[in-house]
Amino acid sequence: MNAPENTSAVAISGLVKRYGSTTAVDGLDLEMPRGQVLALLGPNGAGKTTTVEICEGFRRADAGTVRVLGCDPVGQHASLRPRVGVMPQGGGAYPAVRAGEMLRLVAACAADPLDPNWLLEVLGLEPALGTPYKRLSGGQQQRLSLACALVGRPELVFLDEPTAGLDTQSRRLVWELLGALRRDGVSVLLTTHLIDEAEALADQVVIVDHGKVVTRGSPAELTADANASQQLRFRAQAGLNVQLLTDALPEGCVVLEGDPGAYVVRGRVDPQVVSTVTSWCAQQGVLAEELRVGRRDLEEVFLELTGRELRS
Amino acid sequence: MTDTSTDSRFKPGTFAPRPGTGSAWRMLRVHAKTEATLTLRNGEQLLLTLLIPVALLIGLTVLDVIDMAEPRVDSVAPRIFALAVMSSAFTGQAIALGFDRRYGVLKRLAATALPRWLLVSGRVVAALIVVAIQLLVLGAVALALGWSPSLGGLLWALVLVLLGTLSFGALGVLLGGALKAEVVLALANVIWFVLLLAGGILLMPGALPTGLDVLVAALPSGALTEGLHTVLTTGDAPSFAPFLVLAGWGVLAGLLAIRTTKLS
């Protein structure tokens, strides 16, 4: 049975999922309109994969409601499956199967699939056609998995960490592909812990941590500075005395060294501040590189909200 | 959002949604062909399903290690056919399923439009294809060794092989669908070895002491061997017992497997 076209691609409210005493998803709400790209962004263990697997019908929610294209992903799994493409996190092929065999098998399950040979070619898998799956590189396995998710021409795709383990060229290719999906009206829900990926691809970014939505919005909304305070960033040699520089700047400006050699001046950044920073650096005999004034980026929003400590 | 609409690699409309389920016949054909091809391409599977049975068929016929009526090949062939069915439908199936689960194949297929009944049917058809190939090869070798089966029993043998494949297949799915791949690998091989030696294949129930013979005849290996031996040497219709035993194990394993089989 088909849901009316005006329903959301994905609608989640109050979703809870526990594994023993661990609460993986803790009251998550999410609304994804059709035709959008939504990025579920969060650190490892934030509950992204669990959320996606519940949407895919592979896990049952402990509480809350989930609707995918207007349907119950568990109860109406059979009618949803032809309409939804799934790229799981890792795996998804017989150990000894060749890339072409696997994609042709998945294609045979669809009524009007994309041409598997074309898909293999554009994803750069042609050189690996005769290679058993378990001997493919991680990036090749990822691209085959993406091909399997797309070959049936789905309305909605779930991509769990689609660019994990890909080199830069492949990542660009996947981004381009996701752009084409969006253009052609396919709804895309992807998980990622890569901030630039969420920023480059998504109409809507939902930042999750500890199974909860921390914040959501378009990349522009999320990076718009609530306090209107701008910042100046530059790179120079590591270990400059930031206290000295702070003292040289007007009241209210503060200088921090994030990663070694990456400096941020927070506060009211006016032309005078820029001038002071460059001349102070000149006095130290240091060249301030990549100097730019601007709004905070998504990475900062993310770190602010999810903390700076490492997660396993 | 990066604007990629001008790129030529993906023409507009390339990915326009057109979802739908493929034809059941095509799904079954491609799935079964893929599974059967993978089995026949796998060296360890071939060792188990063809090389060892062929070696045992020749060895037991030529060497006088087990007491058998002459011509020995007439008695050896049915046992080896039963072994071949057990090797591929049970041991091979269990190991393949264990590793397929590890590699996320079942989840992958469960995420396509392939209905669940076809997911099972594809594996069953693949198992039957492999068993057919095994029996053609083993039958040819046996004929070369002078095997002269009772023609009247061939049809019954076919029915027993079919039932045996389904029954052992259900047991294989029960084992391979529930445990970790390494545990499946170890158990499936150990059970194969135990059933070969003590499960009524090398020593048929009739050759065992009273008490033990009843027990072994109630095993799927004992029932299939006994049944095949009867119909292929005498041409008589077999008793109901082997059918009941095989069907019983198959139904029991199938019902349990429905509850215990995990996708990953």
pLDDT averaged over consecutive 10-residue blocks of chain A (312 residues)?
Answer: 68 95 94 95 89 94 95 93 92 92 96 95 91 92 95 96 89 92 96 85 92 88 63 87 89 84 84 89 89 74 69 54
Nearest to A150 by CA among A170, A177, A173: A177
How confident is the model at residue B5, as a pLDDT?
A: 45
- Domain that residue B122 falls in: 24-260
Q: Tell me the C-alpha to C-alpha distance, in Å, between residue B237 and each of A120, A282, B164, B243.
A: 54, 102, 16, 11
Report the alpha-carbon distance of residue A159 to residue A149 in Å, rounded: 8
From the list B10, B108, B109, the residue facing A177 with the nearest CB is: B10
User: At the top level of CATH, which class does the domain A230-294 belong to?
Assistant: alpha beta
B104 contacts A90? CB cut-off 8 A: yes
Contact state of B16 with A153 under an 8 Å Cβ cutoff: yes
Specify the pTM.
Answer: 0.83
Token pair for A307: 């903390």
Structure tokens at A130: 């005769």
- Interface A–B counts its CB contacts (< 8 A) at 158
| Number of other residues whose CB lies within 10 A of the CB of residue A140 | 21
| Residue from the list A56, A92, A153 with its beta carbon closest to the beta carbon of B105 | A92
Number of domains observed in the structure of chain B? 1
Nearest chain A residue to B16, by CA:
A184
Domain-embedded: residue B18: no
Q: SS3 for A109-143, per residue? A: CECCCCCHHHHHHHCCCHHHCCCEHHHCCHHHHHH
Closest alpha carbon within chain A to B18: A153
Instruction: Name the residue of chain A whose CA is nearest to B119's CA.
Output: A109
Model pLDDT for residues B47-100, shown as the tens digit of each residue: 999 999 999 999 999 998 888 888 899 999 999 999 999 999 999 999 999 999
Q: Residue holding tokens 């008695």?
A: B75
Is A155 within 8 Å of B17 when comparing Cβ atoms? yes
Its CATH class, for the domain covering A10-222, is alpha beta
Q: Is residue B175 in a domain?
A: yes
- Does residue B214 sit within a domain? yes
Cβ <8 Å between A84 and B18: no
Tell me the pLDDT tens digit for each residue of A62-85.
999 999 999 999 999 999 999 999
What's the pLDDT at A270?
A: 83
Contacts of A111 in chain B (CB under 8 A): 18-22, 113
CB within 8 Å: B17 and A186: yes
ipTM of the complex: 0.88
Interface test with B, best of A83, A94, A222 (most B CBs within 10 A): A94
**Are B15 and A150 an interchain contact pair (Cβ–Cβ within 8 Å)?**
yes
Residues of B in contact with A91 (CB under 8 A): 102-105, 107-108
Which tokens in the block code for residue A233? 């960033």
Cβ atoms of A41 and A198 closer than 8 Å? yes
The full set of domain ranges for chain A reads 10-222, 230-294
- The tally of CA atoms less than 13 A away on the side-chain side of residue A190 is 31
Confidence of residue B159 (pLDDT cuts 50, 70, 90): very high
With beta carbons under 8 A apart, name residues in chain A contacting B16.
153, 184-185
What DSSP character marks residue B51?
I
B4, B22, B107 ranked by CB distance to A108: nearest: B22
